[in-house]
Amino acid sequence: MDLTYTEEEQDFRVRLRAWLAKVLPELPAKPSPDDWPGRRAYDLGWQRRLYEAGYAGLHWPVDAGGRGATPTQHLIFLEEAERAGAPYVGANFVGLLHAGPTVAAEGTAEQRARWLPPVLRGDEVWCQGFSEPDAGSDLASLRTRAVRDGDDYVISGSKIWTSHAEVADWCELLVRTDPGAPKHRGISWLAMPMDAPGVSVRPLRTLAGSAEFAQVFLDEVRVPVANRVGAENDGWRVTMVTLSFERGTAFVGEVVACRRTLGELARTAKANGRWDDPVLRRRLGRLYGEFGALWRLTQWNVSEAERSAGGVPGIGGSVFKLAYSHARQELYDTAAEVLGARSLSLEEEWTLDRLSSLSYTIAAGTSQIQRNIVAERILGLPKGR
């Protein structure tokens, strides 16, 4: 018996485990990786089941439509869902893990009522329109323009690396509303309907052969001013809230998945003889310790977020993001050592995961950016000139 769990939390685990055991065999077959409409339907179908069973939005506050569960119950849910092989959030990870929480923390009552219930029910998908082709890692140098015209903004520009844009209903969009202001002060955060006239989507194929990313072109797209979250030109502050969720709590389930993969690696190494290599064993042992520490850091970040005003994670999320990105890459480099020549085959799941892991030191803020945040905001070091 784990004495760190209360009786109520133990009961929550038992009920959840029983529900997963009942419902998972009833799920339809997963669609092809390239069938994005099919994957959208599959992912939203799972979200709807969670909603109907009372497990959707465990990490969201009650006044935002969430369940108001404790941080420990949230973590128990992630552990049990991963252990049972349940579907992940999939195509709607933006809506569930950072756009939705941002609206919950920063939106008006009307905005929360409009956008949050459909995310939790599995009715609508969101994508993220932050990165731009010419901005690189300097997100604040974005050039997409939004000109006020009465009750609308008229938007022109383009975004890149927009996950699941081709199946999204809404986009959390950063635009420049005051080109004359210092670059961090002339930005606004908008919710843009993806079916608005002037929006076009061009899928991008990755190294692994998948097409979950897209470039989005905006040609005089009209978005109501009422869709702005936060004040005009205060979008950079709102963006920091979004990035806090993205870095601080959005990767929680993936840590659980990596710990499971580590166990599978050890079993595979014992079966194919690679376990006899002491260097590999030491590497697996060190990764075991590192992911254990990351899980503890995850628990702390989730607890801190759910105790804070609006449930916004703190700057500890940058510590997690930096450490996790590199640990994940090393995990799948180690998988390549265990697989040997098989690691060159795209038919191997770990090969695809390894290719995907290459993006983690770039996505959600590069490792260089995270080091700057840790140095300046946690360690108090001076800013570079």
Asked if 122 and 166 touch (Cβ cutoff 8 Å), the reply is no
Alpha-carbon gap, residue 125 to 199, rounded angstroms: 16
Closest CA to 298 of 2, 71, 99: 71
Alpha-carbon gap, residue 52 to 63, rounded angstroms: 18
Please give the DSSP secondary-structure letter assigned to residue 169. S
Alpha-carbon gap, residue 278 to 109, rounded angstroms: 58
246 catalytic? Reply is yes
Alpha-carbon gap, residue 119 to 121, rounded angstroms: 6
Please tell me whether residue 154 adopts helix, strand or coil conformation: strand
Active-site option among 82, 106, 166, 246: 246
3-28 burial by CB neighbour count: b if 16+ within 10 A, else e? eeeeeebeebbeebeebbeeeeeeee
Asked if 383 and 376 touch (Cβ cutoff 8 Å), the reply is yes
- State the maximum Cα–Cα separation within the chain, in Å, rounded to a whole number: 71
Residues 6 or more apart in contact with residue 285 via CB below 8 angstroms = none
One-letter amino acid at 136 equals G
Catalytic residue annotation: 246
